[in-house]
Every structure is written in structure tokens, then in C-alpha cells.
Amino acid sequence: MLGMKLTDDACYRVLLSRDPRFDGVFFVGVTTTGIYCRPVCTARTPGRDRCRFFASAPQAEQAGFRPCLRCRPELAPGNSTVDALSRTARLAAARIETGALADGGSVERLARSLGVSSRQLRRAVQQELGVTPIQLAQTRRLLLAKQLLTESRLPIIQVAAASGFASVRRFNALFRTHYGLTPSRMRRGSARAPGDRLRLLLAYRPPLAWRSMLRFLAARATSGVELVADNAYLRTLAIGKHRGWLRVEPVAGKNLLAVELSTSLVGALGGVLARIKDLFDLSARPDVIARALSADRNLAAAVKRTPGLRVPGTVDAVELAVRAILGQQISVAAATTLAGRLAAEFGETIETPYAGLNRLTPTAERLATTSTAAVASLGLRSGVAAAIHALAVAIAEGRIVLEPGADAEQVAEQLVELPGVGAWTAQYIAMRALRWPDALPASDLGLLRAAGVRSPVILTERAEAWRPWRAYAAMHLWESLHELPAKARSSTTKPRPTKRRQLAGSLT
């Protein structure tokens, strides 16, 4: 049985229908072929008695099945590692997805970072995902390698390194053992020089409100760091020692996003792709979310008007948190201007092929070593500058960890203890940086206006019916404000927050 609410018989009914809404929710192994597929695979449907169902790709591979070359399980949205039931297993899976066990990383070090013993970590992951942390990481590396072999022109030696394998010999051996093919046979045609960029595909469950997503990101795009142009999102990015740029746009007629990135980021490719998935909320279940929120007649029209609306995440949690603090008491445009000044003054310079992309976002370490006065000199109020500095110091010292899968309530409590950071900011950070679907910045004036209430208490009470998707409900309410006349939208202002109670305007 699967670690979810679908029985094996229900899974088989889905398999017969090839319903795309279940893509990535489970995988099916066919005992007569030894291959496992996505439920949307176009291959002939096997008989019920030949099917075994798994909640994750690692479980299928651990049971001895190899991935289908036709439906390509590595493209399945969600891939269930981020859907683990246990918080420890979920957070461990998320960190493994971004490469925690690569480049010399160990289970022991990962366990320490999560505040548990290595034995506890192994038990949690085994219980929730059916595999060990090492097996989970190994499957992640192999699936990423398979995608690179299929979609890129990287030489095989670079594919091995980009996938997290320290040894080409080990890579070749595992590939043959798991997939019954050598990497060179997996690749169709000869590999050529990759040039200065790489192009890969990421899948999602339809629908996806791409225009709404771009509009949201464009309004907050930091000058020099981000850019929205020609129906695409572009930005610079730094992960560890790797620096580069990326460009994301939809593939016409398909439920795919095309990701183009500089080859300078190949060494951190797993982390890059994981962050892009978070940014565009690609693991969301829009059908499930819409069905739940539409049960509230006050939200039903908004949900119907913008199907597939996601909660934008971030590729850099520090950037997002600083941006949230900047926007506490001023307009979106003003906060965006200040974010650009911060990047220009404290961000590392970088060369890209795109005009206007020339800065990396300032790191927590850089801001922590910068005086409050230097930050305030860019036009920030002293209290905001102090809050940014306090946040940067807490992150640089490891006292606050902003990562998807972290305990959102605990992190929110830590954030509001910082000077100048209120509940609204903490909830907004939890919503986008921690990927907490139930976050709700209830004191937001835009949400109150869109919901037709005046009190955060009343909104919070009404929002009980939206759990566990309150963050998505907030996005629909904010989106509905675009239906208002411009004059009505501009009347929403941001009063100064008190120490423990904070009101803020919409869409910060």
C-alpha cells in the first residue's frame, strides 16, 4: 500500500484513465518488464495483476524497477520526496534534493543540521519514504543524470559531476546496475560541446497561471538581479562557489517550463532546479487546492477566475526576507526601488548575456558585516535598517534557518523576536521562503480589503475554512485586487506597525 490515501485499486483506475492530475502522486511498477512509469505513460496499460504501486521513485527503484524511457519519471512533478509525512523526513528530503549529501556531505552532518541523531534521521526517512537517506540521494543523482543525458549536450564526465558523483567509474557502475544501460547508450547521438548554457525541462500539474505569476514577480523584481521580459523570468544566482544566471519560460502547448542556465551553475544543478521548482511552486496540486477553496462561496469566484494560481516562492530566502522587511510600511514600487539600491551597493557584480542583469543579491554575511548606518544611508528608515541587520546576523550565525520544509511556526516565532519584525512579515516569509501552504498574513490591508472585512481577527476566523491552503487563498484575494479600479487599489496604504502588531498593504 502507498503512504497516501489512494488504494492500489484506485491507483489502477487512475492508470486506466491516464489522468494528468495524478502525475507525480504515485508510480507504477510492471512486474513483467521490471520498469516503473508515471500514471500518464502512453505505453500499453498492463493488467492489474502485473502492477505494483509506489509513493516515490526511490521506492520503485529500491524494489528493483528501472525508470521508463518513454514517460521519464524524473519529469514527474512533485516526485513525492517533498510530500513526506514526517517533518524530519520532509526536511531531510528537501535538503538532499538540493545536494546536502553531495560534495563530501554525510548523513551525520545532515542529521546534526536538523538537530537529530543520524540513527533518528535514517529511521524517519526509512519509515516515511521506504528508503535510506543514501538511497534517496542516489536516486536523485541518477534521475538528474538521466535527465542531463537525455536533454543536454554535456560530456558524460560533466554529467557525472553535475549529478553529484565524485567518481565517473562509480557513476557508470550504478547506472548500469539500476538502469541496465551504460550512460553512453542512454544518450541518443554524440555529445557535443555545450557552449555557455544548458537547457532543461521541468514539469508541473496543470493549470498554471503563468501571467499572474509573472505579474507578481515583475512588480518585485530587484534591479540588476531580476528581470521579467518576453514572457520569461530571468535572474542571477549564487549557490556556494557557483555564480551564474537563469531564464525560465513556458513551453507552448505542454505542461513544462523550459529552464536555460549558464554552465557555470552546473556544479550546483540539483540545488538550482530545486529552487526553481520552489519559486514557481511546481509541486502544487491545483486541482486539490481549487476544490477545497471553492467550497467557500466567498472565494469560489476568484478561484474560478484564475485557475492554477500558485504561491511564488524564492530562489534566495535571504533576498526574500530582506524584501519583506523593506516592504513593511511602504508601497511595492518603493520597496522594489530600495531593494535595487541594496543590491547595487552590497551585491557582488556579475557578467551575463542580458542587459540589466549584473548583480548578485547581497548575502546574509555581507549585510551582517555592514553597519546599520551604511544601510540606512540608501534611503531606509533607521528602524528598517536595524531590522535587516539583525536578520542578517541571525541567519549568518545560524540562529535562524530559512529553508523550505523548516518548522514554520518555530521560525516565525524566532523572526518576531527580532527588532522591527512583526507577525505580518513572519507570515509572509513563511509563506514564500519556507513554502508553508497554511501561512496567512492576516493583518495585510489588501487581504482585509479583498475579503471585505476590517479586522484581522475576523479574517483569521473566516480563514479556518481554508486550511491547509490559506496561503493560496491569500494569493487569490490579492489577485482579485487587480479587478479593482486603479484609484481603489492605490487607496490601500501601510500604517506603521507596533512592536507586536503589524499592519501592511497588499502584495508586498
User: Which active-site residues does the annotation give?
Assistant: 37, 444
Instruction: Choose among 70, 82, 6: nearest CA to 38.
Output: 70
Quote the cell numbers at residue 198.
544548458
> What are residue 234's DSSP bridge partners?
227, 247
* CB within 8 Å of 24: residues ≥ 6 apart: 38, 76, 77, 78, 79, 80, 203, 205, 283
* CB within 8 Å of 486: residues ≥ 6 apart: none
Radius of gyration for the chain, computed over Cα atoms and rounded to the nearest angstrom: 23
Q: How far is CA 298 from CA 304, 459, 480, in A?
A: 12, 12, 12
Residue 322 to residue 493: CA distance in whole angstroms: 20
Q: What is the 3-class SS of 14-57, one letter each residue? A: HHHHCCHHHECCEEEEECCCCEEECCCCCCCCCCHHHEEEECCH
Question: Could you give the angle at which helices 332-346 and 317-326 cross, rounded to 10 degrees?
Answer: 130
Instruction: Choose among 334, 321, 423: nearest CA to 364.
Output: 321
User: How many residues are there in the chain?
Assistant: 508
Q: What are the b/e assignments for 181-213, b being 16+ CB within 10 Å?
A: eebeebbeeebeeeeebbebbbbbbeebbbebb
